[in-house]
Chain A
Amino acid sequence: GAGVSQSPSNKVTEKGKDVELRCDPISGHTALYWYRQSLGQGLEFLIYFQGNSAPDKSGLPSDRFSAERTGGSVSTLTIQRTQQEDSAVYLCASSLALGSVAGELFFGEGSRLTVL
């Protein structure tokens, strides 16, 4: 597709279950970001992938959160043993990094996670 695609758009799960959220970036974009947007809050940076470099995981809130990016394209964010405070919209964005300058971010529509 032309834009950043995220799935599922909505996910309801029970506390303690694991969830996987998927992001398919714009073709050719080398940079990929995950954010969390809690109700009434701004975006919280989670993790950043750039090409084949090691990801920047500095924003992950706990070791229950992990992400991978296969083949430099699709990324999966995994939350293990979900807690109610994990309920949020998880947004993915990609950009075409231009040397040392990050290009414009293009966002997906997000995955809304509700933990009961």
Chain B
Amino acid sequence: AQSVTQPDIHITVSEGASLELRCNYSYGATPYLFWYVQSPGQGLQLLLKYFSGDTLVQGIKGFEAEFKRSQSSFNLRKPSVHWSDAAEYFCAVGALSNAGKSTFGDGTTLTVKP
């Protein structure tokens, strides 16, 4: 069975500081990995996705993520956080043929201090 673990429920960083959100997954085949962001009262927006190729993927809003098969991880990073990045972030793993049936982590809430 596939599963996703986001170890950090809540993270607080100062504006301008770097950010790393952790994601570990369990999947029986080659995973299709995603990061989504959910701002308060909004639906989810796709930040980036990985299926194959370069293990460092670039996304929107200056985010990137690195796939590490040996560690079963897909951590999200941003070099300099902006106040508007405060939101909840979800990692998900699924099959290429049906990304919508992905399994989602419980999310990490990011607070940005001025």
Contacts and interface: CB of A to CB of B under 8 A. Distances in A.
B84 interface: no
A42 B9 CA distance: 11
Nearest to A108: B43
Contact of A107 (B44, B99, B103): B44
Contacts of A56: 101
A102 interface: yes
Interface string B90-114: 1010001111111111110000000
Interface in B55-114: 90, 92, 96-107
B74 to A, nearest CB: 15
Given A42-B4, A91-B44, A110-B43, A48 B101 contact: yes
Interface in A76-100: 91, 93, 95, 100
Interface of B: 4, 41-46, 49, 90, 92, 96-107
Interface of A: 4, 31, 33, 40-45, 48, 56, 59, 91, 93, 95, 100-110
